Structure 1
Amino acid sequence: MDDAEQEGIDEDLIEFAIRESIQDAYKLPCGFRFTRFHICTDELTVSPRILRFSVCLGCVSTGDVDALQELSGCVSAFRESDGRGWMPLHAAAVQPRPEILHVVLQDVTLEEQTEEGDTALTLAAEANRVEGVRMLLQHGASPHNTNGRNESPLLLGSTTQHKQRTQLLWTSSYSTVTHWNGLRNSLGKHCTCTTSPSHQTVLYFLCLPLGGDVNAQASNGDTVLYDASGSGNLDCIKLLLQHGANPNVASYACQLPIHRAAYEGHILALRTLIPITTKRAIRLSGQSPVHSAADGGQVECLELLIQKGFDVNALLENYGDLRKSPLYFAVCNGDATCAEMLLAAGAKTDQDPLRCILVAIRAERYELVQLLLSYGAEVNCYFRVISNTVFPTALQYCLRDHVMLRLLLNSGYQAHKCFQCGHGNSEEMDSTWTDLHNQFCEFVSVSWLAHLVGSVVRMLLDYVSHISICSHLQRILRRRAEWEEISEILSKPRSLQHLCRLVIRSRMSLKILNNPEAMTTLPFPPMLTKYLTYREYEQYGEL
C-alpha cells in the first residue's frame, strides 16, 4: 500500500470518528455531551496517538463492541482524554450497553477524573446505569470520591429513586467504612439522609450489624437522627429509633433532634420525639424546643409544645445577643402570630435585658407593640447599657416616627419625665434623677436631632399638665416653627377637662388602660372611654 492510499484511509478514519462521535454525543443523556476533541484537522495532520484515541472514542459512542475489542491492544488509546477531561472509560460509563464498559475496563485506572472532578462511577451513578455501577464496583472503584460539586457516587445513588443501585453503593461502602462519620462525609457535607423513599433502604443497610454506629457523630456533632429530624421523614426517624438511635445526643452546638424538628416545622417528627426526649437532655442543652419553634416561626409546632406542657418562659443560656425568652425570637422575627400564642400561654414580656417592647418599637412593628402593651408590657422601661436617660428609653427609638410616638403616649408613656431637668428648675426634679446625666433637653440638643424637637415637644404637651421648659430647651425650640404654638400652650392654664383626664389615667393600671376588652368592663360611657384613651389622637388605626 503506497503513501497516497494510506493517507486516504487515515482521512476516512478521521472523518468517520469525528462525525460519529459528535452525532452520538447528542444521543447521550443531558450533561454528558462532548464539546471538543483533541484532534487537529488543519491540513489533516493527526498524530497516530490522537487518531487511535479518536477512533476509540467514536466506537464507544456508537456502541461498536467489535471495533473496541480490535483496539484493545492499543492501551494508550484508552488513556487519552478530550477537552473536558473525558476518557473512553467515562464515555463508556454512561452508555446503556454494559458490554462497552467491560471492554474499556481493561488495564485502566478507575479513579481518573474529568475536568469537573467526576469519576466513571460518579457518571454511571448519575446516569442511572445500574450494571455499570455494579461492574465498576466489582473492579474496585471507590464510592466515596467526590467531584467538584462535593457529590460522591454514594450521594448520587442515595438521592434518586433506584433502590438497586443504592443497595450496591451502600454494600460496597460498608466493606471499608464502619462509622457514621466516614459515611456522612462520603455522602457529602450538604447531603440529608431522608430525601426520597430509597433512603429507607440506605438506613436499613446502616442499621444492619455491619459495624455501623447509629449514634456516632460527624465532625460538627450531628447524628443521623438529627439530620433525619431536619428533613422530617417519619419513616426514617422511626427506623433509626428502632435500631437504637438516641434522641438525647446533642450536637456540638447543643442542638437535639427535637430542636431541629421544631425549628423546621416537622410536626409529626416533633410529636414522635417529644415523649422520648428527656427533660435533663433539654436542660443540659440550654435551650427549649419552644425557642426553636418560635425562632423558626412554626405555629403548629409551637402550639403542640405548649399543649404538651413546655414552659413558654424557659430561658436561653449564652446566646450571642443575650436574648433569653422564646417571645424575643418571635418579636425579633416580626411574627405576631407566634408572639400572640406565647403571650396567651403566659409568656412574660420582661425577661430579656433588652425588653421585647423596645425591640418591636425600634423595628416599627406597630401590631406587635400594641399586642405587647395589651398583655402588660412596660412602656416606661429602661435600657441603660447604651444611654442612661431620665426619660424612659422607648422615646429614643421613635423620635422620627410620630405614629409610634402617639401609640406609646396613648398607652401611658410618662411624658412628664421629658421635662425633668436641672437647668433652673431643680425644684421640679425628683431626687432619684439627680445623678443621671442624660436629660431630654440634652439628648435632643445634638445637631442630628434638633430639627425634630419642635414636633416632639408639641406632642408631649398633650399628655402633661402645666409644666415649665428649661432655658436650655427653650433656646432650641425658639428656632423651630412649632415654638409659637408651644409658647401659647405654656402661657395659659390647662383645661379642667384635660387635667381630669390625666388624673383618672394616673389611677388606672396600664394593663387595663391598654386592653380594649378590659376598658369595656369599666363603668364609663363610651365617649368618656374614648377621651381617656386619647382616641382623638390615635393614628395607628388609620394605617
Structure 2
Amino acid sequence: MSGAMVTPRGFDDYSPYSALSDDELMKLAIDRSLIEDNNSIGSIQSSQPVDRQPNYQPNQFTTRFRLPSATRHMYDFPRANPNPANPHPNTSPANPPSADPIIDARPLVTVIKNGDLKALKEIVKCNPMSLLVPNQEGWISLHEAAYYGQKECLKILLRAHPGMVNTCGSYNQTPLLLAATFHHVNCVECLLDRGANPDIANKDGETPLFKACEKPNVEIVDHLLKYGASVHKACVQGETPLHEAAGHANVEICQMLLEAGAKLNAINNYVMEPFYVATQNGGVDVLHFLISKGADINSQARNGETPLYEASKNGHKEVVELLLSHKADANRTTKSGLLPLHVAVQKGHFEIVSMLIPATCKVKVQRSGISPLHLAAEHNRDWILEMLIEAGYDVNVQLAEDRSKMYEDHRSTALYFAVTNSNLEAANMLLEAGANPNLDMFNPLLIAVRQGYMEMITALVEHGANMNASIPTHPCSFPAVVMLGMKYLHILNYLKYLMSNGCDALSCFDCTYGSKPHPPLRISRRGSVFGETLHYITDEDEARRNTCVQFCEAISDPKISHWAGPIIDVLLDYVGHVKLCSRLIENLDSY
C-alpha cells in the first residue's frame, strides 16, 4: 500500500455530496472500505507495503512488515481517483453516479504511524474487528502503535480491545517488547499501566527488560522493574539482563538490576559471568563498580579464559591495568594451556605485554609447552620479541611435542619461525641472543636455502648452522644444502660459499655403482615442504624405494642437468683426486 498522501480535491467537485460534513464523508469512506468489490481489492493488493521508520534496520528476528495479500484490503480505505478530469471513471455526464463518491483516505497502518487519532477513532467505531487482523509477522494494530511509539493510539486501541495487551506476534513479540526495543518510554509506561506482562519473552528468550539493557535505556528499565519485571530471566544463550548491561558498560542499569536482586555471578551458556562480559568491551567504570560489589575477577569461562585473558586478547590496556592492580591472576591457563601473556604477544599488544611480563611466572610458561618467543617470532612481533629476550626468556626453548606435531615440519624453535617467515631482523636478534640453529628436526638452514635467501643463509652459517644437515624425510648421501641449492639459488656462487665454509664436497662423488651402468631413474614429484624425491626403476623397486639419493642421480634431474657441468667443476675445486662415476661422466660429456 502506498503511504503517500494524495492532496484531496475540493468537495465542490462532488456536488451531490457538498452538503455533507467532514465526519460524514469520513464515515462514508469507511463504509465503502468494508464493501470493496473485487476490482478495488485487486488494485489494493498490487500496491506497495507501508514504509517503516527509516532508521530501523531489520535483523534476523524482525523482518520488514508487509501485510498479507488476503488481509491488506481490510486495512485500506478507497483510493483517490488519479484522473481529476473524471472523478467518477465508471460514469459519464449523462449517467451521474448513483453511489457514494471515492474520496482520499489512508490505510490503517499509516493512520497509526501518523498518529491520526480522529481517523483511528472512526475505524474503531465502524469496524473494530479490523484492528485484530494480523500481518505476516502476526502483528495486530496494537503492535504497530507500540512500534511507532504512538501512545495515544495505544490508548484508543486498548480501550477497544483491552484483552489484547499481551498479544504475541509470530516471533512471540508483545507490544511491550517492541516499545522497549525501540525506546518508546511513554508507550512502555502506557502498556504497563494497562496490564502488560513484563516477563513475556520472544523466541530468543529476550524479555522487555533484556531488550532495554541490550540498548541501554534507564527510564524503561526503571518502569519495568517497578512493575515487577524479573531480573533473572535469561535468553537462549543464557545471558541475563545484567550480562547485557555490563557488556554495554552501563553502571546505572547494573546498579538498578543488582538492587532488584540480580545475581552478580550468574553465568551464561559459556560459563561467562557479567564481569567477564564487561572485560570484552573495555568498560573500566563498570568493572570498578562490579569489583566493588564483589565480582570474581578470576572467574573462568568454559574454555578456561579469565577476564584478564579476555582483556589482554582484545587490547584493553586500562582494563588489564585495573585487573592487575586488583591482583588478578596472570598465571591461570586456558584449557589449551595458554596464559594472558601468550595471547597478548600473539595479538601484538606491546604495552599489555610489558605489564604482563613481571606478573607471569616463567615456570607456568614452561609448563604450557610454548614460549611467548615462539608466538612473537611466528607473528613477526619484532619489538615484543626484543622485549622478551631482554626479559630473559630462553631463546632455545622448544615447543612441547604435542604442539610441535601441529606443524607438518615438526618445528620446535622460535628461530625456525623467524627463518620460515624470512624475518632476518628477528632471526638476527635470536642468533645474537644465543639461539642454536641446529635444534630443529629440519635445520633452519635448509629452509633458508630453499627460499634462496642468501642473507639469512649467511647469518645462520656464521652462527654455526650445520652445513651437512640432512633431510630426515628425503635421505641423500650428500649434504642436503647442495641438493636444495641446485634448485633454488644462484648455483655457482652459492656452492662456492658453502664449500668455503665446510660443506662436505667429497660425499658428492660417492657412488655405489662407480663405473658400472646406472639403472634408469624415475623422478617422483612428491609435494612436501622440501620438494622432490628420486626413485629407481628396477625389479626390486619396492625394496629399494627408500635408498638414499646420490649426487650423480640428483644432478641428472632434467630441471638441473643443464647446470651439471659447472656444478661438478666447482665441487672438484674443493676435493682432491676423485674418480667419477659413469653417470657424472655422462653429464660432463653432454656439457
- More helix by percentage: 1
Match of 1:316 among 399, 403, 417: 399
Task: Indicate yes or no: 2:551 matched with 1:440.
Answer: yes
Shift of 1:225: 1.2
CA change 1:287–1:437 in 2 (3 A) is closer
Report how many residues are paired: 451
Matches within 5 A, 1:82-161: 87-105=174-192, 106-108=195-197, 110=199, 112-113=201-202, 120-121=208-209, 123-136=211-224, 139-140=229-230, 144-145=234-235, 157-158=245-246, 160=248
Residue 339 of structure 2 corresponds to: 256
Q: Distance in 1 between matches of 2:147 and 2:476?
A: 80
Residue 487 of structure 2 corresponds to: 400
Shift of 1:421: 0.8
Name the aligned partner's letter for residue 418 of structure 1: C
CA change 1:213–1:357 in 2 (3 A) is same
Residue 37 of structure 1 corresponds to: 66
Shift of 1:364: 4.4
Q: Distance in 2 between matches of 1:396 and 1:155?
A: 61
Residue 424 of structure 1 corresponds to: 514
Q: Secondary structure at the match of 2:335?
A: coil
Q: Distance in 1 between matches of 2:511 and 2:550?
A: 6
Residue 470 of structure 1 corresponds to: 581
Q: Secondary structure at the match of 1:217?
A: coil
Residue 453 of structure 1 corresponds to: 561
Question: Bigger radius of gyration, 1 or 2?
Answer: 2
CA change 1:274–1:162 in 2 (3 A) is same
Residue 17 of structure 2 corresponds to: none
Q: Deviations over 1:205-261 (max 9, x none)?
A: 443454x43223222221111112222323212322233321111122221112222
Residue 12 of structure 2 corresponds to: none
> Do the aligned partners of 1:232 and 1:269 also contact (CA within 8 Å) in 2?
yes
Shift of 1:349: 0.6
Task: Indicate yes or no: 2:461 matched with 1:373.
Answer: yes
RMSD between aligned residues: 4.1
**Which structure is higher in RCO with an 8 Å CA cutoff and minimum separation 6?**
1
Q: Distance in 1 between matches of 2:35 and 2:206?
A: 33
TM-score between the two structures when normalised by the length of structure 1: 0.70
Q: Distance in 2 between matches of 1:43 and 1:66?
A: 24
Shift of 1:65: 1.7
> Do the aligned partners of 2:247 and 2:274 also contact (CA within 8 Å) in 1?
no
Q: Distance in 2 between matches of 1:286 and 1:28?
A: 51
Q: Distance in 2 between matches of 1:344 and 1:50?
A: 79
Residue 329 of structure 1 corresponds to: 417
Task: Indicate yes or no: 2:42 matched with 1:26.
Answer: no
Q: Deviations over 1:114-167 (max 9, x none)?
A: 6x88664565445443333444565126674257xx998666645556554465
Match of 2:429 among 313, 330, 341: 341
Q: Distance in 1 between matches of 2:451 and 2:459?
A: 14
Q: Distance in 1 between matches of 2:223 and 2:68?
A: 30
Structure 1 residue runs of 5 or longer lacking an equivalent are: 427-434, 486-543
Q: Which moved more, 1:44-53 or 1:357-366?
A: 44-53
Q: Deviations over 1:302-341 (max 9, x none)?
A: 1112222222122222222432221112222332221121
Q: Distance in 1 between matches of 2:582 and 2:198?
A: 90
CA change 1:407–1:119 in 2 (3 A) is farther
> Do the aligned partners of 2:265 and 2:273 also contact (CA within 8 Å) in 1?
no
TM-score between the two structures when normalised by the length of structure 2: 0.65
Task: Indicate yes or no: 2:576 matched with 1:484.
Answer: no
Residue 220 of structure 1 corresponds to: 303
Residue 501 of structure 1 corresponds to: none
Name the aligned partner's letter for residue 35 of structure 1: R
Match of 1:239 among 322, 332, 335: 322
Structure 2 residue runs of 5 or longer lacking an equivalent are: 1-23, 42-46, 76-128, 517-545
Q: Distance in 2 between matches of 1:144 and 1:360?
A: 56
Q: Distance in 1 between matches of 2:242 and 2:555?
A: 65
Q: Which moved more, 1:30-39 or 1:172-181?
A: 172-181
